[in-house]
Amino acid sequence: MQLSSLPSNIQTPYYYYNIELLEETLRLVLDESKRYNYHVHYAIKANANPVLLKLISGQGFGADCVSGNEVSCALECGFPANQVVYAGVGKSDQEIELALKNDIFCFNCESLPEIEVINEIAQRMDKKVRIAIRVNPNVDAHTHHYITTGIEENKFGVYLYDLEHVITELVKLPHIELIGLHFHIGSQITDMTAFRGLCIRANEIQAKMKEKGMVLPHINFGGGLGIDYQSPETNPIPDFKAYFETFAKFFEPQPNQQIHFELGRSIIAQCGSLISKVLYIKEGKKRKFAILDAGMNDLLRPALYQAYHKIENISSDKLEEKYDVVGPICESSDCFGKDITLNATQRGDMIAIRSAGAYGETMASRYNLRNLPQSLFSK
Ligand SMILES: *Cc1c(COP(=O)(O)O)cnc(C)c1O
pLDDT in tens, 205-245: 999 999 999 999 999 999 999 999 999 999 999 999 999 99
CATH of domain 3-13+270-377: 2.40.37.10
pLDDT reading at 141 higher than 80: no
> What's the average model confidence in pLDDT over 105-133?
97
pLDDT at residue 49, rounded to an integer: 98
Q: pLDDT digit string (tens) for 157-167?
A: 999 999 999 99
Q: Please indicate whether residue 150, judged by its CB atom, sits closer than 6 Å to ligand 1.
A: no
> What's the average model confidence in pLDDT over 138-165?
79
For residue 132, give the amino acid letter: A
Q: pLDDT digit string (tens) for 287-325?
A: 999 999 999 999 999 999 999 999 999 999 999 999 999
Question: Ligand 1 centre from 365 Cα, in Å?
Answer: 21
Site to substitute for ligand 1 among 25, 42, 45, 190, most atoms within 8 A of C-beta: 45
The ranges assigned to domains in the chain are 3-13+270-377, 19-269
Q: Please indicate whether residue 224, judged by its CB atom, sits closer than 6 Å to ligand 1.
A: yes
Q: pLDDT digit string (tens) for 5-57?
A: 998 899 999 999 999 999 999 999 999 999 999 999 999 999 999 999 999 99
Cα 12-18-24 angle, rounded to 5 deg: 165
Q: H-type helices in 212-252, by residue range?
A: 240-250
pLDDT at residue 146, rounded to an integer: 63
Q: For residues 272 and 13, what is the distance between their CA atoms, to the nearest angstrom?
A: 13
The model's confidence at residue 261, banded by pLDDT at 50, 70 and 90, is very high
Percent of the chain at pLDDT > 70 equals 97
pLDDT at residue 320, rounded to an integer: 97
Q: Which CATH architecture has domain 19-269?
A: Alpha-Beta Barrel (3.20)
Which of these, 226, 317, 242, 309, lies nearest to 272 by C-alpha position? 309
Question: Ligand 1 centre from 147 Cα, in Å?
Answer: 10
The backbone torsions φ and ψ at residue 49, rounded to the nearest 5 degrees and listed phi first, read -60, 125
Would you tell me how many other CB atoms lie within 10 Å of the CB of residue 168?
11
Q: Decide which of 5 and 260 is more confident.
A: 260
Cα 84-182-101 angle, rounded to 5 deg: 30
pLDDT reading at 153 higher than 80: no
